[in-house]
Structure 1
Amino acid sequence: MKPWLKIFLTGLALWAAAVIVTLWTDNINLIPTVVLLGSFLVPVTFVVWAFAQARTSEVTVELLFKAFLIGGILGVLGASILESYLRPSLVMYLGVGLIEEGVKLAALMLITRHLRVRTIRDGMVLGATVGFGFAAFESAGYAFTSMFTRDGLSIGQMVETEVLRGILAPVGHGLWTAIIGGALFAAGGRLAGKVILTYLGVSVLHALWDSMSGIAIAVTLVLTGQPWQFQLLRIGKVPGVTNSQVHLYTALEWGGLIVISLGALFWARSLSRSER
C-alpha cells in the first residue's frame, strides 16, 4: 500500500472514531481532536504524495515540515492582518486572492531562499506544501467557528464543514501555490515577470473560486429572477434563491468550481511537463 494511502485511511479511521465518541459521550474536550484530525488529514496526505514527486535531494522531510508548518502559519497570520483592511465590495474577493496568494508566495520564497538546485517539479512540491499548510490551519478555523450556532454547539455542522473542505482541499490552496512555486523555481527563485503574471493569474482563479456562490446567485436571477428578488437588489440586499431555483443555483455553483479546478489542474500539468 502506498504511504500516502496508508496515512489517509489510518487518519480517516481515527477521525471517524473521534467523531463517534464525541457524539456518543458529549465530551467537548474531544472537539480539538476532531477539528485537528479533520482539518489536517487531506492536506498532510497530499504532502506525503507530493514528496514522492520531488526531483532532487534538496526536498527533504525537514524542509517539507518547515514549508507546511511555517508557511501555513505565516500565511494565515499575514492574510488575517492584511485582509482586516478590506471592506465589502465587488473587488473584495480579488483583494483576498491577491493577499492570500501573495503571503504564500512570500512564505515560500523565505523558506526556500537557501536552496542551491531548483527544478520546476520541486518548486511545485514545496509550493503545494505551503498551500496545504495554509489550507489546514484555515480549515481548522472554519471548522471551529462553524460549531457555534444560535441553538448552541453543533458537532454535525462542524463535521459537515470538515468533510466539504476536505473534499475541495486538493484543488484549492495546495494546487494554486504549486503553480506559483513551479513558476518561481523556473525563474531561479526570483520575482521575474512570468512569476508575477502567474501570481496574478492564480489570484484571479482564487477570487473566482471564493465568489462562485455570488456569481451563481447572479446568473440564477438573470435566468429565473422574480420581481421581489430584484427589489431586494435595488436596496442593496442579496436575495436568497427559492425552492424552484435552488437546483439551478447548485448546478451553477458546482459547475463553476469544477471548471476553475480543471483549469488549474491543466495549468499545473502543463507547467510540470514544460520541464521535460
Structure 2
Amino acid sequence: MKCPHCVYSNPEEVTFCLNCGHEFSENAHQEQNSLFYEFAHYVDMVPRYERSVEPKFRNIFSRVFRRHSDLEAERLFIVGTALTTPKIEEVKETWPKPWLFARVFLIALIAYVGLYLGVILFRNINFIPGLIVVGAFAVPFTTLIFFWEMNAPQNIAIYKIVYVVFIGGILSMLVALVFYDILRNNINPITIGIVEELAKVITVIYFVRNLKYRYVLNGLLLGAAVGAGFAAFETAGYALRALLSGSFHSLFFTILVRSIFAPGGHVAWAALTGAAICRIQGNKKFELNLMLKPKFARIFVLVVFMHALWDAPLQGIFPVGQLILMAASWILVFRMIHIGLKEIADKKWELAYFQ
C-alpha cells in the first residue's frame, strides 16, 4: 500500500499509513493503479508548504480510541535512528495525532493495579518497591511519550529518551542539591522555583548542545525527558518517606496526588524551558549570553513564577490553584508546539524556494 500523501510503502494489513497516519479508504488498492489518482497526488503535493499549522484540538486526540495494529506501534518505536530519521523535506508540518501515550498509560495502570493488589490483598511487602517505582514513573513517562509523538522531526530515538530520563533526571536533582547546599537557610518558594528550574535548564543544555537537536520540538521533548526523570525520582522519594511513616494509606495517597498533578508540573515546565533553549540556539553553538535573550528569559521567569506559586503555602489554594497552573502550563506547551511546527514549515519553504 503506497500512501497517497507521503508515498510511503506500507504492509497490506494496515489501515493507516505508518509514516504520516493517513487513513486508507476501502478502494485504495484500485485507486493506486489510476493515472488520475497519480495526477491528483502530484497536485496535492504542490501546496504542502502552505498548509495551516493552526491547532484543531478536536482532532489532536482523534486516534486515541481507534484500533491500531502492532505494526503501527513498532513503526513509531524505530524512528530517530540514522536509517529511520526522515529528511526535513519529508517531515509533516501539520499537527501530529498521538495515540501511543494512552496505550503506555493503560499498561502502566494495569501493572500498578497488580502491584497494589499484591500489597493490599496478600500483604506481601515484596510488591512495595515495584509499586513505588511504577507509581512514580507511570504518569511522567506517559506524558513524555506524548511529547515524543509530537516531535514531528522524528530525529530522536526512544533509547535516547530513556537515557535522558534516567541520566538527566539524576543529574538535574544533583545540580539542584548543590544549589540548595549553597543557599542553605534561604529556602522559600521563590528560591525553590529558581533552583529546580535552573538545575533542569543546565541539564537540558548539556543534552541539546549537540546541534543535531536544534529544533524547538526537540528541545520540548528533551526538556520533558529531564522533567519526567526529575518528577519520577522525586515522587519515589516522597512515597518512600510516606511509607516510612508507617502508613500504607499515606503511600498510596502520595503517589495518587503527585501522579494527578505530574503532567502540569516538572514535565511541562522543563519542556517549556527546553524548547526556549533550542529556539534561541538555532543552528549556532550554545553560549551563555543566549540565555539573556527575551525569548528564553520570558519563559524561564514565567516557569519559575508558576513553580513558586505551586509551592506557596497559601490557604485554600490546593487543589484549585494547582489545576489552574496546570492549565496555564499546557496552554503554553501547545503554543510552543505551534511555534515548533511553524519552524518546520518555514524550513521546508526555504529549502523548496532556494533549490
TM-score per shorter chain, which class?
Answer: 0.7 to 0.9
After TM superposition, give the deviation of residue 122 of structure 1 in Å.
Answer: 1.8
Change (3 A) 1:63 1:269: same
Shift in Å at residue 62 of structure 1? 2.7
Aligned mate of 1:101, from 190, 193, 197: 197
Deviation string for 1:125-152 (max 9, x for gaps)?
1111111111011100011101122xxx
Give me the whole-angstrom Cα distance separating, in 2, the residues matched to 1:49 and 1:14.
20
What's 1:226 paired with?
none
Query: Match for 2:121 among 21, 24, 27?
Result: 24
Match of 2:268 among 171, 175, 179: 175
Give 1:50 deviation, angstroms.
1.4
- Mark the runs of 5 or more structure 1 residues left unpaired by the alignment: 218-248
Q: Compared with structure 1, are the counterparts of its residues 138 and 117 closer, same or farther at alpha carbon in structure 2 (3 Å cutoff)? A: closer
SS of residue matched to 1:191: helix
1:42-121 → structure 2 map (5 Å cutoff): 42-86=139-183, 92-121=188-217
Displacement of 1:7 in angstroms is: 1.7
TM-score (norm 1): 0.79
Change (3 A) 1:126 1:24: same
The question of whether the paired residues in 2 share the 8 Å contact of 1:120 and 1:185 is answered with: yes
Matching residue's letter, 2:300:
Y
Which residue number corresponds to residue 12 of structure 1? 109
How far is 1:259 from its partner?
2.2
Tell me which of 287, 303, 309 is aligned to 1:208: 309
Q: CA deviation at 1:85?
A: 4.2
> Match for 1:191: what amino acid?
M
Which residues in structure 2 correspond to 1:155-166 (within 5 Å)? 155-166=248-259
CA deviation after TM superposition for structure 1 residue 173, in Å: 0.4
Q: Which moved more, 1:166-175 or 1:1-10?
A: 1-10
In structure 1, C-alpha distance between the alignment counterparts of 2:323 and 2:132, rounded to whole Å? 26
Aligned-pair CA distance for 1:3? 2.5
Name the stretch that deviates more: 255-264 or 160-169. 255-264
Distance 1:120 1:167, change over 3 A: same
Residue 127, structure 1, aligned to residue 227, structure 2: no
Separation of aligned partners in 1, 2:326 and 2:121: 37
1:88 is displaced (CA, Å) by: 5.8
Q: Does 1:39 align with 2:144?
A: no
The CA deviation at 1:22 is 1.3
Deviation at 1:258, TM superposition (A): 2.2
CA distance in 2, matches of 1:128, 1:47: 6
Q: 1:24-77 CA distances to partner (integer Å, 9 max, x unpaired)?
A: 232222211110010011111122221111122432213212221111011122
Does the 8 A contact of 2:207 with 2:222 survive in 1?
no
Is the contact made by 1:121 and 1:272 (CA closer than 8 Å) also made in structure 2? Answer: yes
- Alpha-carbon spacing, 1:57–1:274, altered in 2? closer, same or farther (3 Å): closer
Q: Is the 2:213–2:219 Cα contact (8 Å) retained in structure 1? A: no
Counterpart contact for 2:273–2:299, Cα < 8 Å: yes
Deviation at 1:164, TM superposition (A): 0.7
Match of 2:293 in 1: 193
- Match of 1:118, SS state, is coil
Instruction: Give the CA RMSD over aligned residues.
Output: 1.9
Q: Which amino acid aligns with 2:247?
A: S
How many Å separate the matches in 2 of 1:262 and 1:88? Answer: 32
What does the per-residue CA deviation read over 1:87-118, in whole Å, with 9 as the maximum and x for residues that have no partner?
566x6111111111111111111112113351
Q: Deviations over 1:215-249 (max 9, x none)?
A: 2x2xxxxxxxxxxxxxxxxxxxxxxxxxxxxxxx2
CA contact (8 A) 1:104 1:131 kept: yes
Query: After superposition, what is the alpha-carbon deviation per residue over 1:187-233, rounded to whole angstroms, capped at 9, x for unaligned?
Result: 1154342323322221111111111xx22x2xxxxxxxxxxxxxxxx
Please give the alpha-carbon distance, in whole angstroms, between the structure 2 residues aligned to 1:55 and 1:169. 24
CA distance 1:181–1:35, shift in 2 (3 Å): same
Unpaired segments of 5 or more residues in structure 2? 1-67, 69-98, 343-355
Query: Size of the alignment, in residue pairs?
Result: 236
Q: Counterparts of 1:204 and 1:107 in 2: how far apart (Å)?
A: 20
